[in-house]
Amino acid sequence: QVQLVESGGGLVQAGGSLRLSCAASGSTSSINTIGWFRQAPGKQRELVATVRSGYKTNYADSVKGRFTISRDNAQNTVHLQMNSLKPEDTAVYYCYAYVVRDYWGQGTQVTVSS
């Protein structure tokens, strides 16, 4: 079992920055892939960025060059630095981990005003 708790969401103006953090607990040594998804109102949940245990990263095309994911295995945390935010980045952001099955955090709201 893995528990995920997000923090760092909020309201920011377009062009601004936010940093999301996710603290993992439980069977953290078994986590292969960890990262972030998001879901905007009326849309399906979509990949934002993930990082594997070997630190290989994967980003959605829409956030490449603006968002950076980082993983700290010693602290069992994963961060998402979001720069040059756009109104279309507005969504609930969910921390995700894969250990035999998918695990999800409760989500944190990110709102970007124009």
Report residue 63 as tokens.
Answer: 């956030």
Cβ atoms within 10 Å of 93's Cβ, excluding its own: 24
DSSP secondary-structure letter at 45? -
Percent of the chain with pLDDT over 70: 100
**Residues 9-68 pLDDT 10s:** 999 999 999 999 999 999 888 889 999 999 999 999 999 999 998 789 999 999 999 999
Task: Return the bridge partners of 69, or none.
Answer: 80
Task: Decide if 20 contacts 4 (C-beta within 8 A).
Answer: no
Q: Quick check: helix, strand or coil at residue 87?
A: helix
pLDDT for position 74: 86
Nearest in space to 111 (alpha carbons), one of 86, 83, 80, 74: 86
**Residues 74-104 pLDDT 10s:** 889 999 999 999 999 999 999 999 988 999 9
Q: What are phi and psi of 30, to 5 degrees?
A: -95, -5
Biggest CA pair distance of the chain: 41
- Interior CA angle at 77 toward 107 and 38, to 5°? 30
